[in-house]
Amino acid sequence: MNPILSQNLFLVKEHIGMFKAANNYDIYDPETNQIIMNCRENNLGFFTKIFRFTDYKRATPFDIEITTASGEKLISVKRGVAIFRSTVKVFDEKDRLLGTFKQKFFSIGGKFDILDKNERPAATLQGKWTGWDFKFSHENKQLAQVSKKWAGLGKEFFTSADNYVLKIEETVPSDSPLRQLILAAVMCIDMVLKE
């Protein structure tokens, strides 16, 4: 696993645009304000682009890739068409399955289970529907949090509604695949729960 994933704090900035169909993000190191990772949805099909501008946007498939700033692949995240609930697959840099996300039926505020490659529960992501406050937990322990509130360097990024911070707890081992699953899940919040 790339050492860049051992950091505990990431600033995420979504690319915005009026006629934007693809989901693209830049991920910054808050200490240097430098882009350290990119999240891109490069292979967007014609019909998917069209449906992204309709009420069916949350049901469209996606295939995103998270890379280092220099283009080295870290994670890929894929979902087919979602009819009632989403099942998202996460792969490592060598296209090996890391785990899946399964959206809960009828959850208030948005919730999905994060399963490891053997379909065992690794974490749960739950958030408030009315705002950007999501928590990752497992067995009553918080693993990470996604929020729009942060008072550190880089707070100027928070002038737009499309920027947020991911804080991974120090208790999550720096070489754990759970870090890759958490980062991938953060990139999916917008596409699965918020759109």
Distance between first and last Cα of the chain: 30
Residue 50 scores a pLDDT above 90: no
Bigger pLDDT: 14 or 104?
A: 14
* pLDDT tens track for 119-162: 999 999 988 756 668 899 999 999 999 987 655 544 445 445 46
pLDDT of res. 51: 62
**Which one of 51-60, 93-102, 146-155 scores highest in mean pLDDT?**
93-102
Instruction: For the chain, give the percent of residues with pLDDT over 90.
Output: 44
Sketch the domain layout of the chain as residue ranges. Answer: 3-193
Residue 37 scores a pLDDT above 80: yes
Residue 105 scores a pLDDT above 80: no
pLDDT of res. 159: 45
Alpha helices in 57-99 (DSSP H): none
Residue 113's contacts (CB-CB under 8 Å, 6 or more residues apart) are: 101, 102, 104, 121, 123, 124, 125
Residue 84 scores a pLDDT above 70: no
10 within 8 A of 30, measured Cβ to Cβ: yes
Lowest mean pLDDT segment, chosen from 26-40, 47-61, 97-111, 173-187: 47-61
Q: With cut-offs at 50, 70 and 90, classify the pLDDT of residue 30.
A: confident
pLDDT of res. 195: 44
Question: Tokens 């998202």 identify what position?
Answer: 88
Provide the 10 A C-beta neighbour count for residue 17: 9
pLDDT of res. 187: 83
Lowest mean pLDDT segment, chosen from 2-11, 78-87, 130-139: 78-87
Q: What is the DSSP letter of 45?
A: -
CA atoms within a 13 Å half-sphere pointing along the CA-CB vector of 161: 6
What class is the 3-193 domain? Answer: mainly beta
Residue 97 backbone phi and psi in degrees, to 5: -65, 125
Q: With cut-offs at 50, 70 and 90, classify the pLDDT of residue 49.
A: low
- Whole-angstrom distance, CA of residue 31 vs CA of residue 9: 9
Strand ranges (E), the chain: 9-14, 25-29, 34-40, 62-68, 73-79, 87-92, 97-103, 111-116, 121-127, 133-138, 141-147, 163-168
How far, CA to CA in Å, does 148 sit from each of 12, 83, 152, 162?
Answer: 10, 29, 12, 9
